[in-house]
């Protein structure tokens, strides 16, 4: 039945797939096929929540921007109140001046730069195609581990920005402070670390994560890592935590 009724192409989906393919080409030097882009959205390195988020982003199915343009009395919902421009998905995730977007990406870049030689830029194409981007680790680190960390941090950061936008625009709640934004990001990434530790337990065989995979992913970004054993996976979560970048406090001008 599916072969008799093939799915119709969606223009919005095709545009976002092409944006991702261009970003992948600029990074890798080769084009990914549309099929590879769609398949990558379900990559095993990311959680189901991130899978769903990337899938809807690729379809451009969120009700943002031009979606509201021709709806009577609701066209204002398609305009960013902070920037006075079309509130498109690209604008929300990568350009908006509202609290959160630039800070989340700065913290993500600072975290990834500890083991990745050239951290990808925060663009819509790189977000959708994140699982297909080539990642080069700094000397002494595993490319596979750096790639997996990039997948986790990029997906969680983009989804966090979207969640904060929905809280601000849809729920009409107050903006998070910088400290609250940073703390929320820490919680999200730390949950993935703890999940990796748990999923490496032998009781989950044959689907358990390989211990080498967990160690390669999180090495070099842990607090007091030199004091931990080479295999720290079985340590309690209170002893193993991520060394997150500190917020840069603006300098105060001296009073005259």
Please give the full DSSP string across 2-71, using - where no structure is assigned. Answer: TTTSPPPP-HHHHHHHHHHHHHHHHHHSSPPPHHHHHHHTT-TTS-HHHHHHHHHHHHT-SS-GGGGTTS
Dump pLDDT digits (tens) for 201-242. Answer: 999 999 999 999 999 999 888 888 888 887 888 876 545 778
pLDDT for 255 equals 47
SS (H, E, C) 168-230: HHCCCCCCCCHHHHHHHHHHHHHHHHHHHHHHCCHHHCCCCCCHHHHHHHHCCCECCHHHCCC
Two tokens, residue 87: 């509130």
pLDDT for 235 equals 73
SS3 at position 89: helix
Dihedral pair phi/psi, residue 151, rounded to 5°: -60, -45
pLDDT for 253 equals 45
Q: Please tell me the pTM assigned to this model.
A: 0.89
pLDDT for 242 equals 84
Query: What is the C-alpha separation between 91 and 97, in angstroms, rounded?
Result: 9
pLDDT for 184 equals 93
Task: With a cut of 50, list the residues of the chain below it in pLDDT.
Answer: 238, 250-256
Dihedral pair phi/psi, residue 116, rounded to 5°: -110, 130
Query: What is the C-alpha separation between 77 and 64, in angstroms, rounded?
Result: 8
């Amino acid at each position: 039945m599916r072969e008799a009724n093939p799915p119709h192409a969606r223009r919005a989906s095709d545009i976002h797939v092409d944006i991702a393919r261009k970003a992948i080409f600029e990074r890798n030097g080769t084009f990914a096929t549309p099929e590879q882009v769609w398949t990558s959205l379900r990559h095993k390195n990311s959680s189901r929540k991130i899978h769903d988020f990337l899938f809807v982003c690729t379809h451009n199915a969120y009700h943002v921007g031009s979606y509201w343009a021709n709806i009577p009395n609701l066209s204002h919902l398609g305009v960013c109140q902070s920037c006075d421009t079309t509130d498109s998905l690209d604008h929300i995730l990568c350009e908006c001046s509202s609290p959160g977007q630039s800070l989340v990406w700065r913290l993500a870049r600072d975290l990834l730069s500890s083991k990745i030689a050239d951290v990808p830029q925060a663009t819509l194409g790189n977000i959708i195609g994140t699982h297909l981007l080539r990642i080069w680790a700094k000397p002494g680190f595993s490319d596979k581990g750096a790639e997996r960390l990039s997948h986790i941090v990029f997906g969680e950061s983009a989804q966090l920005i979207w969640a904060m936008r929905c809280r601000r625009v849809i729920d009409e709640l107050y903006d998070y402070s910088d400290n609250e934004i940073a703390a929320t990001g820490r919680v999200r990434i730390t949950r993935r670390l703890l999940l990796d530790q748990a999923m490496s337990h032998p009781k989950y065989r044959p689907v358990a994560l390989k211990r080498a995979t967990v160690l390669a992913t999180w090495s070099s970004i842990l607090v007091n890592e030199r004091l931990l054993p080479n295999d720290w996976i079985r340590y309690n979560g209170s002893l193993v935590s991520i060394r997150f970048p500190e917020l840069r406090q603006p300098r105060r001008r001296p009073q005259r």
